[in-house]
């Protein structure tokens, strides 16, 4: 921006401006500002010469002439991209209960595309009623260009061929062994350099933990808010993920990442937090939404106390029309301006709640999202639970939104741990969870099957710890999930016992193979493919350090497991029909259908055609048959403490054993295929075997 004296001269001429578009937008004459403030009686637009200035260079007062309905707007000549601004709002609360006065608070624009002032920002100064101009954040006027889809089109992978990899942008490349230049570690551009790794692994889609602006200081005990589930703004890429200091580079660098992912055939989903914000409860910070109208944005009781089903102090009133529009505008920004291919809604079912947090059968927010043509080609995923006890997995109140299948996770963990009453439950999951989803094929193809996620144990820790070890979080191990269905296999934590190490490695392969070979959409957690550990911490939300970061050095990574995961994903991609929920729904065929080439599933136990679903059973096997010709594929799972012999069905052509998790050489490249002519096969304790007929298998090499 020009010097203050010059700035004042340039902005002497103003115009009423327009209510649309929201936020700040560049016009031929300057910049148009529009902000939602339904209860405001007056608004001040503060313009700053520099991002870290303690005092505004000039202040422009907006009055009722600058108001259209609930929106306040003005056009200022002479301003341009890069201009720093903020607001102060005087308001009369909608409810007479409000005695809080926020008129001294400097607020960022809820629709900011860029934010500055982080060098001087202090979270403490946003509390209470005193002014915070010396330590406030500022919004930055930014371009609003559209993403270049002509040059970098969306990959548009069908759900049936999608494999998701959940990762943290900062943590993925922060380690010294990532091989990146220091200025790129933990950034969007650093992640871009790791696209070949992701492509080689075999995933189709990355799901990024929150990448829009959050408050890193929203954490106790001097720790850092690392995961980012503390949104400060729904439009701005997070400042710590930028290579360099210019806040205007954030959008450019994020677009660069998305474009490179598209060029590699990888989709980009982002984790969005529309259910709560960093502003906490009524004693929390006043940074943006609260100052523009806390009665609008947050659910409150009649006394002004914030209602909370997020566990973070507040709940966004997402089904109110004005709030819905802001959420939709945020989604359009990321989808059309920044190019993302979809969204994962954190605690998404909370967005189905209406007034007084009553669940709605037809939440208008979800209806509006699904009706929006600009969002029609996106993948949408949600957590089906919130912290208020609402859990709607099989009947999530939206047609196009897939759900994290928490029951798949729990059933799979229980089975391989050797729990009783686990085989019958897992049977449904191995078919794609049709009983859980009541046969709704629209929901079946969008079932997100996972064994681990950012919230909880890593895969390595799942088989190494019986209990959580979260003391470094500063809460005396009270935080984090207590019910993990984990198993240390005899010793808590790391061990030098080679037999125990081998068993844990086998269990990791069992869990991964079952997840990847189950119908639905498999999701992998960052680093599980190389046995990344968090030392038994199952809630690393505040650990921005090597405990949470991806590992890269060959001396730290489980290279053998990495090759094994690549092989699993290659098998799934080359033979999708063998792991299709549509085919595995067919458990039997009529006699007249058996002359066809239709695929169908047949359940077995250790004996053919005799599955054991009893409470004490620990074995499952099934074959995928082609009409009456014979079996194409057979998979056996043995979670018993001893080896078991399984009878094999008659194959169309001789069997080849493709996967044997009890074999340490299973993932060796260029390994000679193992033909299998016996009528039975022995499965070691806690192991999984996959067989495919040799004629079918000859279509490709399975080696990574």
Active-site residues, by number, are: 346, 383
Distance CA 664, CA 684 (A): 13
Distance CA 639, CA 643 (A): 9
DSSP assignment string, 216-279: TT-SSTT----S--SBS-SSSBPGGGSSSS-TTHHHHHHHHHHHHHHHTT-EEEEEE--S--TT
**246 contact partners, CB below 8 Å, separation of at least 6:** none
Q: How far is Cα of residue 362 from the mean position of the Cα atoms in its chain?
A: 24
If you count them, how many residues does the chain have?
Answer: 704
Cis previous bond, 582, omega within 30: no
SS3 of 581, please?
Answer: helix
Strand 619-626 vs strand 655-660: parallel, antiparallel, or unpaired?
unpaired
The CA-based dihedral angle spanning residues 195, 200, 205, 211, taken in that order and rounded to the nearest 10 degrees = -30
Q: How far is Cα of residue 200 from the mean position of the Cα atoms in its chain?
A: 21
H-type alpha helices, 418-516: 423-430, 441-444, 459-462, 498-516
Count other C-beta atoms under 10 Å from residue 291's C-beta: 25
Q: Which contiguous run of DSSP H or E holds residue 59?
A: strand 58-62
Distance CA 355, CA 334 (A): 28
Nearest to 600 by CA among 576, 582, 620, 573: 582
Q: Which residues of 491-522 are buried (b: 16+ CB within 10 A; e: fewer)?
A: eeeeeeeeebeebbbbbbbbbbbbbbbbbbbb
In 63-111, DSSP assigns E strands to 67-68, 71-77, 84-91
> Do residues 140 and 161 touch, judged by C-beta distance below 8 A?
no
Query: What 8-state DSSP symbol labels residue 458?
Result: -
Count other C-beta atoms under 10 Å from residue 546's C-beta: 16
Token digits of residue 62: 């907006």
Q: How far is Cα of residue 349 from the mean position of the Cα atoms in its chain?
A: 15
> Do residues 547 and 458 touch, judged by C-beta distance below 8 A?
no
> Do residues 62 and 15 touch, judged by C-beta distance below 8 A?
no
Strand 521-525 vs strand 447-450: parallel, antiparallel, or unpaired?
parallel
Distance CA 130, CA 101 (A): 9
DSSP assignment string, 156-174: ---GGG--EEEE-HHHHH-
Alpha carbon of 94 to those of 41, 83, 291, 296, 608: distances in Å?
12, 33, 13, 8, 70
Query: What 8-state DSSP symbol labels residue 336?
Result: I
Instruction: Give the full edge-to-edge strand order of the sheet including 687-693.
Output: 599-604, 619-626, 630-638, 687-693, 655-660, 674-676
Alpha carbon of 120 to those of 53, 88, 128: distances in Å?
9, 18, 18
Token digits of residue 105: 């608070």
Nearest to 449 by CA among 504, 401, 485, 409: 409
Nearest to 366 by CA among 403, 328, 418: 328
Q: How many CA atoms lie within 13 A of 216 on its CB side?
A: 13
- Hunting for tokens 């009649």 — which residue is that? 302
SS3 of 625, please?
Answer: strand
Nearest to 354 by CA among 305, 320, 398: 320
């Amino acid at each position: 921006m020009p010097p203050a004296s010059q700035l004042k001269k340039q902005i002497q001429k103003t115009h009423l401006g327009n209510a649309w578009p929201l936020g700040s937008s560049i016009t031929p004459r300057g910049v148009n500002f529009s902000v939602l403030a339904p209860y405001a009686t007056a608004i001040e637009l503060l313009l700053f010469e520099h991002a870290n200035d303690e005092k505004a260079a000039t202040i422009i007062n907006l009055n009722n002439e600058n108001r259209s309905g609930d929106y306040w707007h003005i056009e200022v000549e002479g301003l341009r991209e890069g201009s720093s601004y903020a607001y102060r709002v005087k308001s009369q609360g909608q409810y007479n209960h409000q005695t809080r006065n926020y008129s001294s608070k400097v607020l960022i624009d809820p629709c900011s595309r860029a934010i500055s002032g982080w060098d001087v920002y202090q979270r403490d100064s946003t509390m209470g009623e005193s002014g915070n101009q010396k330590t406030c954040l500022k919004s930055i006027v930014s371009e609003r260009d559209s993403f270049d889809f002509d040059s970098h089109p969306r990959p548009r992978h069908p759900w049936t061929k999608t494999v998701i990899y959940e990762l943290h942008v900062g943590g993925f490349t922060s380690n010294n062994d990532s091989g990146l230049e220091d200025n790129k570690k933990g950034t969007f551009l650093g992640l871009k350099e790791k696209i070949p790794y992701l492509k080689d692994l075999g995933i189709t889609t990355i799901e990024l933990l929150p990448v829009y602006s959050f408050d890193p200081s929203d954490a106790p005990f001097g720790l850092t808010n690392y995961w980012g589930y503390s949104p400060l703004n729904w439009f701005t890429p997070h400042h710590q993920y930028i290579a360099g200091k210019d806040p205007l580079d954030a959008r450019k660098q994020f677009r660069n990442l998305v474009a490179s992912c598209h060029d590699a055939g990888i989709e980009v989903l982002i984790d969005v937090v529309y259910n709560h914000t960093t502003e906490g409860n009524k004693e929390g910070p006043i940074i943006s939404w609260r100052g523009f109208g806390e009665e609008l944005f947050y659910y409150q009781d009649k006394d002004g106390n914030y209602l909370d089903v997020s566990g973070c102090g507040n709940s966004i009133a997402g089904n109110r029309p004005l709030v819905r529009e802001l959420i939709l505008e945020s989604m359009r920004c990321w989808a059309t301006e920044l190019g993302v291919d979809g969204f994962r809604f954190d605690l998404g079912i909370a967005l189905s709640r209406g007034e007084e947090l009553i669940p709605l059968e037809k939440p208008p927010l979800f209806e509006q999202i699904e009706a929006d043509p600009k969002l029609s080609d996106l993948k949408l995923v949600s957590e089906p639970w919130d912290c208020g006890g609402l859990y709607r997995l099989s009947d999530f109140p939206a047609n196009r939104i897939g759900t994290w299948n928490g029951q798949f996770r729990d059933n799979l963990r229980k089975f391989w741990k050797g729990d009783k009453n686990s085989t019958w439950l897992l049977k449904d999951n191995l078919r794609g969870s049709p009983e859980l989803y009541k046969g709704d094929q629209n929901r079946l193809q969008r079932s997100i099957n996972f064994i681990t996620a950012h919230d909880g144990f890593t895969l390595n820790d799942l088989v190494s710890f019986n209990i959580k070890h979260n003391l470094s979080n500063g809460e005396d191990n009270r935080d984090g999930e207590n019910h993990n269905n984990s198993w240390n296999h005899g010793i808590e934590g790391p061990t030098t016992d080679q037999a125990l190490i081998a068993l844990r490695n086998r269990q990791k392969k069992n869990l991964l193979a079952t997840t990847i070979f189950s119908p639905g959409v498999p999701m992998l957690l960052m680093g599980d493919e190389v046995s990344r550990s968090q030392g038994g911490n199952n809630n690393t939300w505040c650990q921005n350090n090597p405990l949470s970061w991806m590992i890269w050095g060959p001396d730290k990574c489980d290279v053998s497991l990495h090759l094994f995961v690549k092989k699993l994903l290659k098998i799934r991609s080359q033979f999708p029909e063998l792991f299709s929920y549509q085919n595995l729904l067919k458990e039997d065929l009529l006699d007249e259908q058996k002359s066809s080439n239709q695929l169908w599933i047949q359940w077995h136990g250790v004996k053919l055609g005799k599955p054991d679903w009893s409470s004490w059973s620990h074995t499952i096997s099934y074959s995928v048959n082609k009409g009456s010709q014979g079996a194409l594929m057979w998979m056996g799972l043995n979670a018993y403490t001893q080896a078991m012999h399984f009878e094999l069905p008659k194959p169309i052509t001789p069997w080849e054993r493709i996967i044997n998790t009890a074999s340490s050489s299973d993932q060796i490249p260029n390994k000679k295929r193992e033909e299998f002519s016996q009528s039975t096969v022995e499965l070691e304790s806690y192991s999984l075997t996959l067989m495919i007929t040799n004629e079918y298998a000859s279509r490709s090499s399975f080696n990574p």
